């Protein structure tokens, strides 16, 4: 699909359903009602590859697990704060280029990057290989779905 | 004795840490890389249907799912005794060369780029990929655009924008249309154009730089290990087919075998202080954490692949390969910072090979899946961008996974990376610096390998802060440096 034929908005679920609560992103988008004007992806790859795939969309929402939040907490976070993208003040570290950094790089190169938000759902820091969400995170899915729908309505 | 820990924060058990052990006089006693281990993965996979494995294994890694996807499919080819049709191979190889091209370009510009492309005295605030883009805006724009075109080929063949779903045991999932073939050809021509431009840029702007020259020549970055990588029938590097060749630290051939044969040549060293196993060559065997002809420690990845090859597979890459070895005047090349240049040589081959495959009329053929035989055991081996990747599966009569082993590139390199880190740290410690300079130099040695601490890259917040902690002999925190 070319950028010209794409929908204006995309919702990307990041996460590995084989790693327990890391699969919360896919679980959220699977609960969404299909909308022809919105693309919905499931992926496991972030950083520059994801940023490049987002080029051409006007708005993007990345739904992902986040160990920095309390388990089950849901938070909508702009990846492009008004004071500009957050960038590290050091040399790049391994493959750790975050999505915000990658979008900033593409923007600097003149590509039309979307306004991007992250919908973060709190999970434990260490996740086992297992299919299925924990009860605490599963209970957060309806709230996350409602948040996605609010984002789409705005 | 003090223990100094460099810890990129990941969500994985054990993290990926560099541990430096200092003695009471402030000297360096030892250095160790702890690579994250996917504990529980083998257990999770046992009993799964074999055809699920290319999807399951690619999801364990947010960095190189393409490599796991194809290694898994190749292991299943072998386990089922499948003959993969020509068209399926063309698709697979084209896909894989685009992956190598895009991944190497990412490292050369964005990840290793600050080390390679910016002067050593670049202020800390600009020593990152944005600094690279500011220093070279036109080239940066072209790189971003062409990398996106390589990514587009991955999407067309792979079936998804972000991770592939196309390779199956015995072949691939679908034929490509003529229009898709035409679009792919256009993208691969642009890749060759960028590869040429980048070679020119490298020789005009990077190689003459005294900073890079001193890194290449540094006595603290010469590591005479053995090397291993895939080669084709002409002994040129191949990224996803061929035989595994190993050469010794003085360049003579140790073995040249298929994936199963090569795996049989490798043993894994267990150390009491880490759950990570250190692969080494059974012959000459384990002699401790040291390089040299009597040690079994070997390295993989771009430098290793050039060292095990006799030539490159494509003309422009061959020219650059000759410049590479002419510059060093020896083979094998042991300079750790030559990994960057070797990466460029391989990127050229990947671009040229992709263009050649895209021009092959067989690309849009319709015979895409070979017959599968009785399930058994199979080994799949490919070259991930950062080194050799083995998948071994044992299937029961119903095609369910009974047992499996994965040896990934960064694990092969774990001992070598630890030794390189030790070399660089020794230099820094000898000069009495244990702060920012330590971080920079160790990171540079580490990054040259393009190591992958899988699975952490997409996890919010999506970055890996660097933390250094120094402990005293009793285990009390002495100092913490974070950035």
What pLDDT does B437 receive?
A: 61
End-of-domain residue from the set B310, B334, B358? B334
The span from the CA of A25 to the CA of A62, in Å, is 8
The span from the CA of B483 to the CA of B481, in Å, is 7
End-of-domain residue from the set B316, B334, B352? B334
Question: Which residue reads 């990846």 in tokens?
Answer: A79
What pLDDT does B167 receive?
A: 96
Closest chain A residue to the Cα of B466, Cα to Cα: A93
Q: Which residue in the set B13, B59, B461 is minimally distant from A44, CB to CB? A: B59
**Is the pLDDT reported for residue A2 higher than 50?**
no
B209 and B354: one domain?
yes
Tokens of B314: 């494509």
Of A74-88, A102-116, B112-126, B419-433, the range with the lowest mean pLDDT is: A74-88
Closest chain A residue to the Cα of B127, Cα to Cα: A91
The span from the CA of B9 to the CA of A125, in Å, is 10
Of B35-49, B187-201, B222-236, B350-364, the range with the lowest mean pLDDT is: B35-49
- Quick check: A89 and B115 CB within 8 A? no
Of A37-41, B123-127, B198-202, the range with the lowest mean pLDDT is: B123-127
B173 and B130: one domain?
yes
Top mean-pLDDT range of B173-182, B262-271, B272-281: B173-182
What pLDDT does B434 receive?
A: 61
B211 and B242: one domain?
no
Per-residue pLDDT band at B448 (split at 50, 70, 90)? confident
Per-residue pLDDT band at B400 (split at 50, 70, 90)? very high
Per-residue pLDDT band at B126 (split at 50, 70, 90)? confident
Decide: residue B92, CB within 10 A, 0-12 exposed, 13-18 middle, 19+ buried: buried
Q: Which residue has the higher pLDDT, A128 or B347?
A: B347
Taking contacts as CB-CB distances below 8 angstroms, the residues of chain B near A67 are 11, 459
Interface test with A, best of B41, B215, B408, B460 (most A CBs within 10 A): B460
Q: Beta strands B466-471 and B401-407: pairing type?
A: unpaired
Task: Give how far Cα B244 sits from Cα of B91, B241, B262, B333, Å.
Answer: 22, 9, 6, 19
> Is there a cis peptide before residue B438, judged by omega within 30 degrees of 0?
no
**Is the pLDDT reported for residue B440 higher than 60?**
yes
Task: Give how far Cα A144 sits from Cα of A62, A89, B282, Å.
Answer: 12, 33, 52
> Is there a cis peptide before residue B284, judged by omega within 30 degrees of 0?
yes
B187 and B304: one domain?
no
What pLDDT does B476 receive?
A: 53
Q: Which residue in the set A44, A55, A100 is minimally distant from B62, CB to CB? A: A44
Taking contacts as CB-CB distances below 8 angstroms, the residues of chain B near A127 are 11
Top mean-pLDDT range of A30-39, A71-80, B378-387: B378-387
- Quick check: A92 and B62 CB within 8 A? no
- Quick check: A47 and B111 CB within 8 A? no
What pLDDT does B408 receive?
A: 86
Per-residue pLDDT band at B473 (split at 50, 70, 90)? low
Of A57-66, B59-68, B244-253, B340-349, the range with the lowest mean pLDDT is: B59-68
- Quick check: A90 and B124 CB within 8 A? yes
**Is the pLDDT reported for residue A106 higher than 70?**
yes
B106 and B210: one domain?
yes
Q: What mean pLDDT do residues B414-434 have?
A: 79
pLDDT in tens, B215-227: 899 998 999 999 9
Taking contacts as CB-CB distances below 8 angstroms, the residues of chain A near B141 are 109-110
Task: Indicate whether B160 belongs to any domain.
Answer: yes
Closest chain A residue to the Cα of B149, Cα to Cα: A52
- Quick check: A50 and B148 CB within 8 A? no
Q: Is A7 on the interface with B (CB under 8 A)?
A: no
Cβ neighbours of A5 (radius 10 Å): 7
What pLDDT does A31 receive?
A: 96
Phi, psi of B132 (to 5 degrees): -65, -45
Tokens of A69: 């939040």
Q: How many domains does chain A have?
A: 1
Tokens of A49: 């590859």
Taking contacts as CB-CB distances below 8 angstroms, the residues of chain B near A52 are 144, 147-148, 151
What pLDDT does B249 receive?
A: 98
Percent share of chain B, pLDDT over 70: 83
Interface test with B, best of A20, A91, A97, A111 (most B CBs within 10 A): A91
Top mean-pLDDT range of B127-141, B301-315, B410-424: B301-315
The answer to whether A122 touches B11, Cβ cutoff 8 Å, is no
Taking contacts as CB-CB distances below 8 angstroms, the residues of chain A near B113 are 92
B232 and B157: one domain?
no
The span from the CA of B244 to the CA of B261, in Å, is 9
**Is the pLDDT reported for residue B467 higher than 50?**
no
- The shortest C-alpha distance from B188 to chain A (Å) reads 17
The span from the CA of B297 to the CA of B414, in Å, is 9
Domain range for A11 is 3-153
The answer to whether B160 touches B66, Cβ cutoff 8 Å, is no
**CATH number, residue A66:** 3.40.50.1450
Per-residue pLDDT band at B461 (split at 50, 70, 90)? very low
What pLDDT does B5 receive?
A: 53
Closest chain A residue to the Cα of B148, Cα to Cα: A52
Cβ neighbours of B318 (radius 10 Å): 17
**Which contacts of B404-408 are long-range, i.e. CB under 8 A and separated by 24 or more positions?**
B404/B42, B404/B45, B404/B46, B404/B53, B405/B42, B405/B263, B406/B38, B406/B41, B406/B57, B407/B263, B407/B266, B407/B279, B408/B384, B408/B452, B408/B454
Tokens of B80: 């089922």
Residues A100, A104, A106: CA angle, nearest 5 degrees: 120
Which residues of chain A from 11 to 40 reach within 8 Å of chain B, CB to CB?
12, 14-19, 22
Model pTM score = 0.89
- The shortest C-alpha distance from A20 to chain B (Å) reads 11
Going by C-alpha positions, the residue among B476, B408, B407, B466 that lies closest to residue B15 is: B466
Phi, psi of B12 (to 5 degrees): -85, 150
B169 and B100: one domain?
yes
Q: What mean pLDDT do residues A53-69 have?
A: 90
Cβ neighbours of B203 (radius 10 Å): 13
pLDDT in tens, B175-207: 999 999 999 999 999 999 999 999 999 999 999
Closest chain B residue to the Cα of A13, Cα to Cα: B458
Phi, psi of B66 (to 5 degrees): -60, -40
Of A76-90, B106-120, B242-256, B427-441, the range with the lowest mean pLDDT is: A76-90
Domain range for B277 is 223-334
The span from the CA of A135 to the CA of B2, in Å, is 43
B176 and B90: one domain?
yes
Q: Is A128 on the interface with B (CB under 8 A)?
A: yes
Q: Is A4 on the interface with B (CB under 8 A)?
A: no
**pLDDT mean across residues, chain B:** 86
B107 and B210: one domain?
yes
What pLDDT does A78 receive?
A: 86
What pLDDT does B75 receive?
A: 98
Q: What mean pLDDT do residues B65-82 have?
A: 96
Which spans in B65-177 are helix H?
A: 65-79, 86-106, 113-117, 129-135, 137-158
Q: How many domains does chain B have?
A: 3
| Interface size between A and B, measured as CB pairs under 8 A | 183
Task: Indicate whether B316 belongs to any domain.
Answer: yes
Q: What mean pLDDT do residues B243-271 have?
A: 96
- The shortest C-alpha distance from A59 to chain B (Å) reads 17
């Amino acid at each position: 699909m070319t950028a010209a034929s794409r929908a204006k908005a995309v919702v990307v679920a990041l996460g590995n359903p084989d790693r327990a609560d890391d699969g919360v992103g896919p679980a959220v988008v699977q609960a969404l009602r299909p909308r022809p004007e919105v693309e919905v992806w499931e992926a496991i790859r972030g950083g520059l590859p994801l940023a490049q795939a987002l080029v051409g969309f006007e708005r993007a929402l990345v739904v992902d697990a986040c160990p920095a939040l309390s388990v089950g907490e849901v938070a909508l976070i702009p990846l492009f704060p008004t004071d500009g993208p957050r960038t590290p003040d050091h040399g790049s570290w391994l493959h750790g280029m975050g999505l915000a950094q990658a979008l900033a790089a593409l923007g600097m190169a003149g590509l039309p990057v979307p306004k991007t938000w992250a919908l973060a759902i709190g999970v434990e820091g260490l996740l086992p290989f297992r299919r299925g969400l924990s009860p605490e995170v599963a209970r957060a899915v309806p709230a996350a779905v409602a948040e996605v729908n609010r984002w789409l309505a705005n | 004795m003090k223990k100094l820990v460099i810890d990129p924060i990941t969500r994985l058990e054990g993290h990926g840490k560099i541990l430096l052990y200092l003695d009471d006089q402030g000297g360096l006693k030892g250095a160790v890389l702890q690579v994250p281990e996917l504990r529980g993965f083998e257990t999770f996979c046992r009993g799964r249907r074999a055809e699920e494995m290319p999807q399951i294994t690619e999801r364990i890694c947010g960095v190189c799912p393409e490599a796991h996807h194809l290694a898994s499919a190749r292991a299943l080819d072998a386990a089922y005794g499948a003959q993969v049709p020509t068209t399926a191979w063309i698709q697979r190889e084209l896909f894989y060369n685009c992956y190598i091209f895009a991944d190497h370009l990412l490292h050369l510009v964005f990840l290793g780029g600050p080390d390679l492309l910016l002067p050593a005295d670049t202020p800390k605030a600009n020593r990152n990929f944005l600094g690279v883009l500011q220093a070279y805006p036109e080239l940066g724009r072209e790189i971003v655009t062409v990398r996106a075109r390589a990514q587009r080929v991955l999407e067309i063949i792979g079936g998804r924008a972000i991770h592939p779903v196309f390779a199956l045991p015995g072949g691939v999932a679908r034929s490509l249309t003529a229009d898709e073939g035409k679009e792919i050809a256009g993208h691969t021509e642009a890749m060759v154009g960028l590869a040429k431009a980048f070679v020119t840029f490298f020789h005009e702007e990077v190689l003459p730089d005294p900073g890079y020259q001193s890194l290449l020549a540094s006595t603290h970055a010469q590591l005479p290990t053995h090397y291993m990588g895939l080669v084709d029938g002409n002994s040129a590097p191949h990224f996803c087919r061929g035989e595994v060749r190993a050469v010794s630290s003085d360049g003579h051939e140790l073995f040249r075998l298929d994936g199963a044969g090569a795996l049989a040549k490798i043993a894994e060293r267990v150390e009491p202080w880490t759950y990570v196993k250190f692969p080494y060559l059974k012959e000459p065997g384990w002699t401790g954490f040291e390089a040299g002809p009597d040690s079994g420690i070997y390295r993989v990845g771009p430098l290793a692949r050039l060292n095990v090859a006799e030539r490159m597979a494509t003309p422009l890459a061959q020219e650059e390969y000759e410049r590479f070895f002419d510059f060093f005047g020896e083979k094998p090349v042991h300079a750790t910072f030559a990994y960057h240049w070797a990466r460029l040589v391989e990127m050229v081959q990947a671009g040229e090979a992709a263009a050649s495959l895209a021009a092959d009329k067989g690309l849009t053929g319709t015979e895409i899946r070979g017959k599968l035989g009785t399930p058994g055991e199979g080994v799949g081996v490919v070259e991930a961008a950062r080194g050799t990747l083995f998948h071994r599966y044992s299937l029961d009569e119903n095609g369910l996974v009974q047992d499996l082993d994965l040896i990934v590139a960064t694990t092969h390199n774990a001992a070598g990376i630890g030794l390189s880190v030790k070399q660089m740290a020794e230099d820094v410690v000898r000069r009495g610096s244990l702060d920012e300079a330590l971080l920079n130099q160790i990171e540079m040695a580490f990054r040259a390998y393009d190591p992958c601490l899988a699975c952490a890259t997409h996890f919010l917040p999506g970055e890996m802060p660097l933390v250094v902690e120094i402990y005293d002999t009793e285990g009390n925190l002495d100092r913490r440096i974070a950035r």
